[in-house]
Chains A and B, each alone.
Chain A
Amino acid sequence: MSSETNDIFSDEEKDILQEIMNIAFGSATADLAEVIDIFVELSVPQIHLIPVGELPDFLKNTIHAYDETVIVDQKFWGDFSGSGLLVLPSRATKEMLMLLADKEPEVSFTKTMATLEKESLVEIGNILIGACVGKLSELLKTFATYSPPRIINGSNVQNAFIKSFDPSQTAIVLKTIFKFEHKDLSGLLLLLANQESIGWLRKALHEFLESYE
Chain B
Amino acid sequence: MQGAQIMIKKILIVDDSKVARIMLKKCLPKDKAYEIIEAVDGQDGVNKYREFTPDVTFMDLTMPVLDGFKATAEIMKLDKNAVVIIATADIQRKSAEHVTALGAFTLIKKPVKSELMQEVLAAAELKLSKLPGVK
Which residues of A are at the interface with B, using a C-beta cutoff of 8 A? 15-16, 18-19, 22-27, 29-30, 33, 39, 44, 139, 209, 212-213
Contact A22/B62 with A30-B90, A213-B27 known, Cβ cut-off 8 Å: yes
Q: In the docked arrangement, what's the CA distance between A39 and B27, Å?
A: 31
Contact status A209-B23, CB under 8 Å: yes
Contact status B89-A30, CB under 8 Å: yes
Q: In the docked arrangement, what's the CA distance between A26 and B19, Å?
A: 16
Task: Verify if B110 is at the interface (C-beta below 8 Å from A).
Answer: yes
Among residues of A, the one whose C-beta sits closest to the C-beta of B22 is A209
Our pick among A19, A24, A25, A213 for the contact of B19 (Cβ within 8 Å) is A19
Contact status A213-B114, CB under 8 Å: yes
Q: Can you list 15 residue pairs at the A/B interface with Cβ under 8 Å?
A: A15-B18, A15-B19, A19-B20, A19-B23, A22-B89, A23-B89, A26-B88, A27-B89, A27-B90, A27-B109, A39-B94, A209-B19, A212-B23, A212-B26, A213-B113
B: interface residue count bin = 20 to 34
Contact status A16-B89, CB under 8 Å: no
Q: How far is the CB of A121 from chain B (nearest CB, A)?
A: 24
Contact A39/B19 with A23-B110, A213-B26 known, Cβ cut-off 8 Å: no
Among residues of B, the one whose C-beta sits closest to the C-beta of A13 is B19
Q: In the docked arrangement, what's the CA distance between A27 and B111, Å?
A: 9
1/0 per position for B100-120, CB-CB distance to A under 8 A?
Answer: 000000000111011000000
Chain A residues near B113 (CB-CB < 8 A): 213
Q: In the docked arrangement, what's the CA distance between A19 and B112, Å?
A: 13
Nearest 8 interchain pairs by C-beta: A26-B89, A26-B90, A19-B19, A23-B89, A27-B89, A19-B17, A15-B19, A29-B90
Task: Verify if B92 is at the interface (C-beta below 8 Å from A).
Answer: yes
Chain B residues near A26 (CB-CB < 8 A): 88-90, 110
Chain B residues near A25 (CB-CB < 8 A): 89
Chain A residues near B134 (CB-CB < 8 A): none
Chain A residues near B65 (CB-CB < 8 A): none
Our pick among B18, B88, B109, B111 for the contact of A212 (Cβ within 8 Å) is B111
Task: Verify if B131 is at the interface (C-beta below 8 Å from A).
Answer: no
Contact A18/B89 with A26-B110, A212-B27, A213-B27 known, Cβ cut-off 8 Å: no
Among residues of A, the one whose C-beta sits closest to the C-beta of B111 is A23
Q: In the docked arrangement, what's the CA distance between A38 and B70, Å?
A: 26
Task: Verify if B91 is at the interface (C-beta below 8 Å from A).
Answer: yes
Q: How far is the CB of B61 from chain A (nearest CB, A)?
A: 9
1/0 per position for B1-37, CB-CB distance to A under 8 A?
Answer: 0000000000000000111101100110000000000
